[in-house]
Amino acid sequence: MTCSKNGTADSRLVAGYTTREHLLLDLDAGSRGDAEWLANYVMKNYPEVGDCILLKTSRGWHLVFDNRIGYNKACTIIEHLAEQGYLEPNYVRIRKFRVDMTLRVSGRWETTGYRPPPKLICRIHNPWNRRHDGLIKTYLAVWTAFQLPPVLRTEVETHNHH
């Protein structure tokens, strides 16, 4: 898990899930169908990644895969996806610079308002692999810790509409 200031004038923190063990993808655009298609494409071409969960963000989608494949294999997959045009080339440069993969798990305040935490949409079963390393559970334990309780969620939503 990582926490960092969100880059705005206030001092609120943003929490992220960081790994070098399993594949995480951050898609800044596209439909749910596009995200599900990409998850299935990855699982078919790289069955060792295991199952996948799909989360909706305010700007796109997060894909979190279940199995331990190591950072080098994750980078190989990311580079292949960028070469095929499924990820932006900048995505590869960021991975090489950061030397990890991080997805935001908390809400985030910006000058335009509050961006809620990613919302869990579904789990996609990988029919090409039966191994389950359980890293989705590890991710979900961190993600769950940063979900707003209903009373605070209502307060934030009310604040955003003013």
What is the total count of domains within the chain? 1
Q: What whole-number distance in Å separates Cα of residue 56 and Cα of residue 143?
A: 13
| pLDDT tens-digit readout, 106-152 | 998 888 888 899 999 999 999 999 999 999 999 999 999 988 665 55
Domain that holds residue 151: 2-160
Taking the model in full, what pTM does it have?
0.84
Residue 96: predicted pLDDT: 66
The predicted-structure confidence for 78-111, as pLDDT tens digits, reads as follows 989 998 999 887 776 776 666 788 999 999 888 8
Is 60 exceeded by the pLDDT of residue 70? yes
